[in-house]
Amino acid sequence: MLIGLAAFSLSFYLLFTNEGRALKTATSLDEGLSLVVPLDNIHSVSQQNEGKLVHLSGALRTSKPLFDPSYGLSIHAVKLKRQVEMYQWVEYEDSKEYEENGEVKKETRYSYNTEWKSEVVNSRNFDREIGHKNPSAMAVESFTAIAPDVQVGSFFLSKGLIEKIDSFKQMSLSKLEDPHADITRREDYFYHSENPRRPEVGDLRVSFFYAGLSGDKSHLGPADVVSVIARQRGDQLVSYQTKSGDVLQILYPGELSAEEVFQKEHESNTMKTWGLRAAGWLAMFLGINLMTRILHTLVDWLPVVRDLVNIGLKAFAFCTATSLSLLTISVGWLFYRPLWALLIGLLSAVPIVIAKSRVPPKKHQ
């Protein structure tokens, strides 16, 4: 019941603040679109646009290649990620409930399989550790290298913009040689194994991924093109603070117009808004379910009554969560769009009206 009360309370905060965030973001995007200045020439820095919100598209460029000396690998890219996986035992749990002598019991069975995992699986927590023991650490660690200076034309990207370059692609290792005698290359992996076709627990395999291909010297293809909307500060592109309160610092792959970039941001804002609305409703539904669980427990010894009460409580939780969620959303809209808030507030009463209309008058009961 305490967990349910916490989830119930959290749902109000989540639903209410989400509406304000969504409207503020939409207003900031509209403000940004009305102020943005397209840059026709990205290879020269114009002082006329100092401090303004600008839009530009161009190929990525880095000053130095990223490299991994342990495996003799280098690439001109914004990010280079080394991913290390270890062959380990993995435990699977299969639980099923059954009824015996009027009581509901739970039976759990465990099975084990060997798989490649990027995180160390702690075998000490296994139900049967004997015969299924994993190493406690990996001899080689994963890491991500990031280029310190990234440019589009003559402009340097801020750290916030560089973080948005995260579309990783796996790097082909077909043209590379085995870096050491105890490392074998097979397909696009380096194996720390005596026999990569039949690995043993504790063996490692290493793969590489890159994001933001830059320069014209790479055998992987031409440099990636990005579209950026940010504030010009000298030869740097940094975040822009809108009057509505949001910060604009946008980067998308491909050559897009300013209108297309802002349209994508609006779509992303809409998806996030509906996702948080669904999460808020679910938190409220689960909270009510947990708080009323005590009623189900009181009649647990009566099978038929127990099932009926369970159905009734779920219907009650569904209707109440739907009404309260709509009511909370309408309050969130009250400060911005009163007419929409009133409409949503009236809509919140629909589940209650439907439920009340299904109750027959006392004289017919």
Q: Which domain holds residue 271?
A: 2-29+263-364
pLDDT at 11 over 80: yes
Q: What is the pLDDT of residue 103?
A: 72
Residue 195 CA to residue 190 CA, distance in Å, equals 12
Name which of 67, 260, 54, 258 is nearest 157 in CA terms.
Answer: 54
Are residues 240 and 118 located together in one domain of the fold?
Answer: yes
Are residues 221 and 360 located together in one domain of the fold?
Answer: no
Residue 192 CA to residue 41 CA, distance in Å, equals 49
Percent of the chain with pLDDT over 90: 46
pLDDT at 363 over 50: no
Are residues 223 and 356 located together in one domain of the fold?
Answer: no
pLDDT at 144 over 70: yes
Give the number of domains in the chain.
Answer: 2
Are residues 271 and 212 located together in one domain of the fold?
Answer: no
- The overall average pLDDT reported for the chain is 84
Are residues 306 and 172 located together in one domain of the fold?
Answer: no
**259-308 confidence digits (pLDDT tens):** 999 999 999 999 999 999 899 889 988 888 888 777 666 656 556 555 66
**178-197 confidence digits (pLDDT tens):** 667 678 888 889 999 888 88
pLDDT at 55 over 70: yes
Q: Is residue 173 part of a domain?
A: yes
Are residues 205 and 77 located together in one domain of the fold?
Answer: yes
Q: Are 168 and 212 in contact (CB under 8 A)?
A: no
Q: Is residue 163 part of a domain?
A: yes
Q: What is the pLDDT of residue 151?
A: 92
Phi and psi of 159, rounded to 5°? Answer: -60, -35
- Residue appearing with tokens 């039976």: 107
Residue by residue, DSSP assigns 80-145 as: EEEEEEEEEEEEEEEEEEEEETTEEEEEEEEEEEEEEESS---GGGSS--TT----SS-SS--EEE
Highest mean pLDDT among 142-146, 294-298, 313-317, 357-361: 142-146
Q: Which residues are within 8 A (CB) of 162 and not within 5 positions of it... i.e. 6 or more apart?
A: 78, 146, 147, 150
Q: What is the pLDDT of residue 365?
A: 45
Are residues 241 and 296 located together in one domain of the fold?
Answer: no
Q: Is residue 51 part of a domain?
A: no
Average pLDDT over residues 45-54: 91
Q: At 340, is the pLDDT very low, low, confident or very high (cuts 50, 70, 90)?
A: low
Residue 104 CA to residue 312 CA, distance in Å, equals 21
Q: What is the pLDDT of residue 334?
A: 66
Q: Is residue 43 part of a domain?
A: no
Q: Among 30-34, 91-95, 181-185, 247-251, which stretch is predicted with the lowest mean pLDDT?
A: 181-185
Are residues 131 and 222 located together in one domain of the fold?
Answer: yes
Are residues 13 and 64 located together in one domain of the fold?
Answer: no
Q: Is residue 39 part of a domain?
A: no
Average pLDDT over residues 335-360: 59
Last residue of a domain, one of 256, 290, 321: 256
